[in-house]
Amino acid sequence: MAAPAQADVKVVLIDFEERLRGIVDRAWREWLAMPDRGRFVFLPRVRAVLVYDFIARHALTEFDDDPHIHVMVKGQQTIHFLFKNRVLVRFKKGNTKGVGSNIETQSVLDFIDPQGVIPGLVPDILKVEVCYALDDLDVGLDEVAVVARNRHRRIWAYPIHPSSRAVVTDFPTSAPDLTPPEVVPLLPEIQETPKKEE
């Protein structure tokens, strides 16, 4: 089977995009809230594993009992979500090519190769990833996108933007400071000119 067409995927996922993005955003916020998260020796690897675990937990909670989504737990390693019996989604951290990072096991090859067939599913299932990419400082999400791939190559992608329903936090106002700051000017140092010896 050829790679999925973007329009075919989008028509199925459009009603779920806000929820998909919300899952990734909540998982990332959970990572940022971890105390001493910088203590890990293998920080990038640990961060990827923990964020993936947070994503899986939030996704299971979000999609529990949704009749349009079938949850497919794959052993102790991964989880897929089948939307409307048509689009199979897995969450991944994006690599530099914009596709999910992974070790190439047989089940991974079945997913990332458009010709591969996932055992137990019909061959014409559309397989895509929801990939997140970090910003240059690794402190925020640069992109969350639905991605179609052909093995190691990104074929197409479209971003899932954060919800436009922003959370507004009111901060208490403080009384203005009526005492002006005291400014003490610094005087330049005067250097004495050395006397010439006669």
**Beta bridge partner(s), residue 91:** 130
Q: Sign of torsion, CA 174 176 179 184? A: positive
pTM score: 0.77
User: pLDDT, tens digit, for every residue of 118-137?
Assistant: 666 666 789 999 999 999 98
User: pLDDT, tens digit, for every residue of 47-81?
Assistant: 999 999 999 999 999 999 999 999 988 777 789 99
From residue 106, how far is each of 10, 103, 109, 110, 129 by CA, in Å? 27, 10, 5, 6, 17
Mapped onto helix, strand or coil, the DSSP state of residue 185 is coil
